Chains A and B, each alone.
Chain A
């Protein structure tokens, strides 16, 4: 079974500073990887996803993530954060085994706080 670890429960970053959120996954084959963001009282919104090809993927809102197979990681980055980026960020891994779709396995999330 697959699993996802987000080592940082909370991260505080100053507005305008760079950001990196860590994500490590466990899965025997090439995974499908996702980053979702959840603002307070809202559902989740997809930031970006990786299935194959270029290991550096671009997403919405200026986010990017890099898939590193050797490290089983899929870290999320942003060069300059804005106060509106304060939210909960979830990394997720998906599979497509047995001819049918499986549910996504999510990490526990990282709560991002932006300091003025």
Chain B
């Protein structure tokens, strides 16, 4: 069974631009979560989608948004990029939203903002 796939793996943007990251979950998994990982703040929860609906959201500004499609694939978008948005963005999937379910992580999309 294929794992969680994230694209692109690496990208460089400049301040003020916007970026869209994509995540394909494991087949059969309907929940997709996004996390931001930085050296200073560590891993921080962005949001979780299930059945095309956002179920929970972390403490991030409105510039960070996401969506989920009917095939469970998810995208996250960051608008008006700031230097501090440079991070590894990790996507994780699981069959349902139950916290007891194991999160399966992708390898991440590394965003550099110049």
Give A contacts to B, CB under 8 Å: 32, 36, 41-46, 49, 51, 90, 92, 94-96, 100-109
Q: Which of B33, B45, B58, B107 has the most CB of A within 10 A?
A: B45
Cβ-defined contact, A46 with B98, below 8 A: no
Cβ-defined contact, B56 with A101, below 8 A: yes
Contacts of A106 in B (CB 8 A): 35, 42-44
Contacts of A94 in B (CB 8 A): 99
Q: In the complex, A90 Cα to B33 Cα: how many Å?
A: 17
Task: Determine the main DSSP class of B at the interface with A.
Answer: strand
Q: In the complex, A103 Cα to B44 Cα: how many Å?
A: 9
Partner of A102, one of B35, B99, B100: B99
Indicate whether A101 sits within 8 Å of B90 (C-beta atoms), given known contacts A43-B107, A46-B103: no
Per-residue A-contact encoding for B39-53, CB less than 8 Å = 1, 0 else:
000111111101000
Give B contacts to A, CB under 8 Å: 4, 31, 33, 35, 42-48, 50, 55-56, 58, 90, 92, 97-100, 102-103, 105-108
Cβ-defined contact, A108 with B98, below 8 A: no
Q: In the complex, A102 Cα to B33 Cα: how many Å?
A: 10
Q: In the complex, A111 Cα to B105 Cα: how many Å?
A: 19
Q: Which of A43, A90, A106 has the most CB of B within 10 A?
A: A43
Q: In the complex, A107 Cα to B41 Cα: how many Å?
A: 10
Top-3 shortest CB links A-B: A103-B45, A43-B105, A101-B97
Cβ-defined contact, B42 with A42, below 8 A: no
Partner of B56, one of A46, A102, A105: A102
Cβ-defined contact, A46 with B102, below 8 A: yes
Indicate whether A104 sits within 8 Å of B42 (C-beta atoms), given known contacts A43-B90, A43-B108, A44-B90: no
Contacts of A90 in B (CB 8 A): 42-43
Q: In the complex, A43 Cα to B107 Cα: how many Å?
A: 4
Cβ-defined contact, B42 with A103, below 8 A: no
Contacts A/B (CB < 8 Å), 6 sampled? A41-B107, A100-B55, A100-B56, A101-B98, A103-B35, A106-B35
